[in-house]
Structure 1
């Protein structure tokens, strides 16, 4: 489902029920919790009647120990059943939300790259954590108690009619008054909650970005700028928090006022009924206690309704993830074959956004077990070619074929297992060097295999020099290692994958000369007997390539070896002249 700007379809209760049902609620535990909750509700209705009888016994000077014993037993039964019921509901709520979170996480991992192009990562994280927590609160604290409260109210009203139907009619007048207060306020709560979740997600995104790039912030003297930006977003969140507080500040006192006025009227009118002999003192006490049994659930109805509106807003945000189209993965898809074949682009056209074509009818062949370099100015489409090979995106038209078969016919998992990727700033995951070398490998990996790929990646020396060796923590995004060390760990990881097709995004561009020399030797080991595609920003790194493809403005304007392009391609010759001239000057 494509997300429309500013357009949010209000989630129905039916969708929320379907979401909870799909999470596999433990029905036996839930049923037991409901039974205990109902026992507590029924017990709560019996206590006022026994109390009334006890008071009438006082007035008749006939204190009955049996009645006191039953009353104590009812108190204990209500307390025990309520305690067990709450624990079981907490179990149901936590387990259900845990399954929803796992489903969301599974879906997030299956979402296509375009989703992450449109949504900031912290906003997605907020949906998985904060929004699901609202669902858990609804289940644990409100959902089942809502139904037991309904039973309590229905039972209490029936008993009240039995005791005195006239006073009961007075109580029922408060019901439409209460709903008249609840309904309009609930709609406002939904709008405020929806906006509040959005602001919370924006704040999380900003904090994640700033903390993740704290070195850039400090090096750029941007602390004041980020402080101001953070304050603005926190103030926005504060304002929405106060809007929610205003709603509750109106709702809770109004509901309390209705209940207190009702209680005063009942006590006053009940006193008149007792003095006239139409009602005994014990019956009046029972009546008042039952009224409290109605008042407490009725106030909880207000809380439940506002919480339901918040959950509806949260579920709407979850729905945007759950109904987003995942990466296409056909069950009957072919398994990508082992070995090497030519990889061919056949009139491939692609645009990230409609009307903004990045590649236009691109056709070229990447020969098996050869090195193909992609060169061209920034924005010419080189990185897009990599993304299409990795199937992060689907061509708008044309096809990419491995041998004679379009790569879209292969399963994503089997196709991506054929690929190895090393970028300019190869990312590392938080964990140890060993964790990063074996990252993505599902099969068991021996220490000998890890040591071998580290040796081939020229990483063995620096790893062994570290106090903890392979168990050294790399820090967030590998910040504890130098650029050259990160690159060599990434190359070791790629070697362990044993890819047939290697994608190199100018892996030595950001390194010093010593590190570049070490990394280049590691890359030579990695490229051996593999189909290699290199994005080249510096022509000096690809002069030995078997084939150089020149991309300009999304079109191929030439291909061949370095010497051929110097003679046949004016733009390439100009780039080479500038770069090698600069290099000669530097050497001089």
Structure 2
């Protein structure tokens, strides 16, 4: 990984990033070669045209010359078609490889990255930024290469035809460079800002649509509309700034080119009148002039797109350089029948935001430990640390005698079952949600057995498509109790050694809660279980209750012991059981 980062961070990060995709070289070579052949064939056309013009008469029309000219056009078109396809193929391969790299990196980044970044911003990096690079590789870069060949070839031929007119013509080059350099720098700055603003806007829109029911229930259409308009206006501002530069580049280039064309035609007309140049040579000269002008116009688009691609590259490299989650620990260990220890564990997102402060406790194998306390005390963070979504700022967590940071993350998480209040689900079928994350195929009989264990088989049977029923985005087509039972069945399927439940029945009605609680009780049998619950009725039978306030443990004991010894827990119990 370090070598890749060093490669990408070389003197030209854009080229290094493209080379790191290992794109197919031969199609690229064939594409460029085809473009060069097309350009060379195109360079012969003005010379053939000169021969036709200088010797033109009805009697002297050469069928052979017409055949050669027609053949040149046909060959040029055919080779150009193949060349365009090969280069488009390479461009698509590069963007696919970049998207794979970005996706692979994103799904392996630690959770705290996504705490800071919106999902829309991450999606924009994978889709929009890579698309900009594809357009550069597939369309603008080939035009740049063939343009150079066209200009060099045309200038060489023009020098042979008439060096004085050629010197007059190439005065346009330094003028073009003087125009493009400052505008290119401004374009890169604007392009980078536009990409960032696009990512932010995508994130806001995605969040709004993702929480559409919350928005409508809160009558927040007006608020979201104003936020959306603000983002659109920001994009409009960047778009207008970009348009201003493009609006300046186009007319300026046209002015320069038209001035040169008029000068060449005027001067050439005088030469023809004097008899020092043939009419055919003047026509050929003008055709070559256009073979120089057209690439120069394409260069403006190439350098504009290049600035955009460099901005996109900077953002992609910034993401690819981030440290992945699996930075340490590769030991695979069976964690069943092992005690869990938290030793002087502290955690904070930043220095001003301490979440846990020097907490210590242990849990014996097969026991149930519950966490209680005011909201925001740090209970959920304990779960995040145990699953290694976050790493402790101080202290350590052990399973048996093994620090969990030494364990393989994949091995650790495969042995932990997690059932939360939200019951997260993917858009797909019940079957896909039950077996989510399991690489090997799972038989229908086993899925039905797990559904029965979770008391989910009855409502699944009632659906016409049974296990193949679509649940909708985030399981919206199912009730809260149904989602919870599928989450429990999913946990049964994994046979976890450690079970974690975060307010697993908090949002259910009494009938659903009773069914789900029965399923949870069955799931907890013989497993080390961690529970977060605001309702003390769900944890009164826990082997140990840990009371957390403002990131500190202020009491440990059974329900009975804490009622007797812990003032705030006693208040909680009195309020809920009275």
TM-score class normalised by the smaller sequence: over 0.9
Structure 1 SS opposite 2:330: coil
Cα separation, 1, equivalents of 2:60 and 2:472: 78
1:503-561 superposed Cα distances (whole Å, 9 cap, x missing partner): 10020011110000000001011111111000121111101001111111211122111
CA distance, structure 1, for counterparts of residue 162 and residue 216 of structure 2: 75
Q: Output one character per residue of 1:345-378: Cα deviation in whole Å (capped at 9) or x when no partner.
A: 1111110112322111111102111100011111
Counterpart residue number, 2:447: 450
**Is the contact made by 1:344 and 1:365 (CA closer than 8 Å) also made in structure 2?**
yes
- In 1, the alpha carbon distance for the partners of 2:349 and 2:523 equals 32
Residue 194 of structure 1 and its aligned partner are, at CA, apart by 1.5
Query: How many aligned positions are there?
Result: 572
For residue 110 of structure 1, give the secondary structure of its aligned residue in structure 2: coil
| Aligned-pair CA distance for 1:223 | 1.2
CA shift, 1:218, in A, is: 1.3
Matched ranges for 1:511-522 at <5 A: 511-522=508-519
Of 315-324 and 385-394, more deviation after overlay is shown by 315-324
Q: Which residue of 1 aligns with 2:4?
A: none
Deviations 1:409-440 (Å, cap 9, x if unpaired)?
01111111011101111111101111111111
**Alignment partners' CA distance in 2, 1:327 and 1:59:** 78
2:272 is paired with a residue whose SS is: helix
The aligned counterpart of 1:460 is 457
Structure 1 match to 2:5: none
Q: 1:40-80 CA distances to partner (integer Å, 9 max, x unpaired)?
A: 01011111111112212227974333222221111111111
8 Å CA contact retained: 1:34, 1:144: yes
Q: Is this contact kept in 2: 1:335–1:410, CA < 8 A?
A: yes
CA distance in 2, matches of 1:163, 1:40: 22
Q: Which moved further from structure 2: 484-493 or 188-197?
A: 188-197
Deviations 1:367-401 (A, max 9, x none): 11110001111121101100000101111111100
Secondary structure of 1:304 counterpart: helix
1:350 aligned partner: 347
Secondary structure at the aligned position of 1:361 is classed as: strand
Change (3 A) 1:171 1:12: farther
- Counterparts of 1:54-73 in structure 2, within 5 Å, are 54-58=52-56, 62-73=60-71
> 2:484 aligned with 1:470, yes or no?
no
Q: Name the counterpart of 2:301.
A: 303
Q: Does 1:494 align with 2:481?
A: no
Aligned to 1:253: 251
Q: CA RMSD in A?
A: 1.6
**What SS does structure 1 have at the residue aligned with 2:377?**
coil
Q: Give the structure 1 partner of residue 14 of structure 2.
A: 16
Partners of 1:208 and 1:273 lie apart in 2 by 66
| 2:269 aligned residue (268, 271, 289) | 271
Q: Please state if 1:534 is matched with 2:528.
A: no
Shift of 1:570: 1.8
3-state SS in 2 of match to 1:359 = strand
Task: Find the counterpart in structure 2 of residue 207 from structure 1.
Answer: 205
Kindly indicate whether the alpha-carbon contact (under 8 Å) linking 1:329 and 1:412 is maintained by their aligned counterparts in 2.
Answer: no
Q: TM-score, normalised by structure 1?
A: 0.95
Structure 2: gaps of 5 or more residues: 2-7
Q: 1:508 aligns with which of 498, 505, 509?
A: 505
TM-score normalised by structure 2 residue count: 0.96
Q: 1:229 aligns with which of 209, 227, 230?
A: 227
Provide the residue aligned with 1:177 in structure 2. 175
Kindly indicate whether the alpha-carbon contact (under 8 Å) linking 1:11 and 1:316 is maintained by their aligned counterparts in 2. Answer: no
Asked if the contact 1:484/1:516 (under 8 Å) is kept, the reply is: yes
Q: Distance in 1 between the 2:32 and 2:11 partners?
A: 20
Preserved contact between residue 433 and residue 474 of structure 1 (Cα < 8 Å): yes
Matched, 1:426 2:423: yes
- Pair 1:83 & 2:81 matched: yes
Match of 1:6 in 2: none
Provide the C-alpha distance between the structure 2 equivalents of 1:335 and 1:456, rounded to a whole number of angstroms: 29
- Note the residue ranges of structure 1 that are not aligned, 5 or more in a row: 2-9, 582-588
Q: Could you tell me which residue of structure 2 aligns to residue 4 of structure 1? A: none
Tell whether the 8 Å contact from 1:193 to 1:310 is kept in structure 2 after alignment: yes
CA distance in 1, matches of 2:333, 2:113: 26
- Which of residues 359, 370, 374 in structure 1 aligns to 2:371? 374
- 1:407 Cα deviation from its structure 2 partner: 0.5
Aligned partners of 2:335, 2:381: CA distance in 1, in Å? 25
* Secondary structure of residue in 1 paired with 2:275: coil
1:570 equivalenced with 2:567 (yes/no): yes
**Residues 1-12 of structure 1 aligned to structure 2 (within 5 Å):** none
Using the alignment, how far apart are the partners of 2:257 and 2:11 within structure 1?
28
Alpha-carbon spacing, 1:566–1:338, altered in 2? closer, same or farther (3 Å)? closer
Provide the secondary structure at the position in 1 that maps to 2:92.
Answer: helix
1:250 CA drift (Å): 0.9
1:329–1:411 CA contact under 8 A, matched in 2:
no
Partner residue in 2 for 1:322: 320
The answer (yes or no) to whether the contact 1:42–1:152 under 8 Å persists in 2 is: yes
